[in-house]
């Protein structure tokens, strides 16, 4: 089964990949306007996909959705009401992001029977809890690393916009170092607190800044860049 997986986030770019049901191949990041060309490339010349499975947290694009529907035999737009082998315990399921759902499904598929703690280091830092019995227990959202740096700069009169650096000491010795330490160490302390409060959980890092923080923590961590795609692939299989 030729399945095209699409992950549309908050930026002008998105990611697309191809799955044969067992593995994920040809993962590419493309400008959202170039997504149709990428789907055609993944499906193959002159053919359409068996399934297109989409996770999107962007404003709905009805023209793009119509095009995708016309280029597959089965179209799946993931939301909290999509059938899947994961039970969602969330008070407002209609507000739950498809990326968080897919990541939770991916964690459950990779580590069945184990409690999982998922950290997604993207535009926002999301922390989600998945029970070993296949239950999404909810999670939390805070600003991601880039958002924190931008907020410090944009919401003050004189503090500069700085780039993240490895903390050399706990107390910064200049303003740039103080800001970098404040953001990077703040996220590290936040993450470590969650891990310490959930002993025995399998810890999974995903997202663009995952490796940056994984290198700084001593806790055993699984870095899974294609966690959302893994979940989308399992959801597609379940529905087909």
Q: What is the CATH number of the domain that holds 104?
A: 3.30.420.40
Looking at the fold, whether 110 and 55 belong to one and the same domain comes out as no
* pLDDT per position as a tens digit, 34-74: 999 999 999 988 889 999 999 999 999 999 999 999 999 99
Q: Which domain holds residue 36?
A: 1-77
Question: Looking at the 3D structure of the chain, how many domains does it have?
Answer: 2
Q: Which residue in 221, 188, 194 sits closest to 206, CA to CA?
A: 221
Looking at the fold, whether 136 and 25 belong to one and the same domain comes out as no
Query: Does the annotation mark 61 as catalytic?
Result: no
CA dihedral 229, 102, 192, 186 (to 10 degrees): 90
Q: Which residue in 163, 43, 22 sits closest to 6, CA to CA?
A: 43
CA dihedral 187, 188, 194, 198 (to 10 degrees): 160
Options 7, 20, 50, 99, the catalytic residue? 99
Looking at the fold, whether 92 and 204 belong to one and the same domain comes out as yes
Q: State which of 35, 50, 77 marks the end of a domain.
A: 77
* pLDDT per position as a tens digit, 73-127: 999 999 999 999 999 999 999 999 999 999 999 999 999 999 999 999 999 999 9
Looking at the fold, whether 197 and 231 belong to one and the same domain comes out as yes
């Amino acid at each position: 089964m030729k399945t095209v997986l699409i992950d549309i986030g908050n930026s002008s770019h998105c990611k697309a990949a191809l799955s044969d049901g067992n593995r994920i191949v040809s993962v590419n990041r493309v400008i959202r306007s170039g997504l149709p060309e990428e789907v055609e490339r993944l499906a193959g010349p002159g053919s359409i996909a068996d399934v297109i499975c989409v996770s999107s947290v962007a404003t709905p694009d009805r023209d793009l959705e119509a095009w995708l529907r016309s280029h597959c035999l089965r179209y799946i737009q993931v939301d909290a009401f999509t059938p899947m082998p994961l039970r969602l315990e969330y008070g407002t399921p209609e507000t739950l992001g498809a990326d968080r759902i897919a990541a939770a499904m991916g964690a459950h598929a990779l580590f069945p029977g184990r409690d999982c703690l998922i950290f997604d280091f993207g535009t926002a830092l999301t922390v989600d809890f998945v029970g070993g019995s296949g239950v999404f227990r909810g999670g939390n959202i805070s600003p991601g690393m880039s958002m924190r740096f931008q907020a410090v700069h944009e919401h003050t009169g004189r503090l500069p916009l700085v780039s993240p650096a490895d903390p050399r000491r706990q107390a910064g010795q200049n303003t740039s170092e103080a800001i970098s330490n404040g953001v990077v160490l703040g996220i590290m302390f936040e993450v470590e607190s969650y891990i310490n409060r959930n002993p025995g959980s399998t810890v999974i890092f995903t997202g663009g800044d995952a490796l940056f923080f994984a290198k700084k923590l001593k806790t055993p961590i699984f870095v899974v860049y294609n966690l959302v795609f893994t979940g989308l692939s399992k959801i597609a299989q379940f529905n087909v």
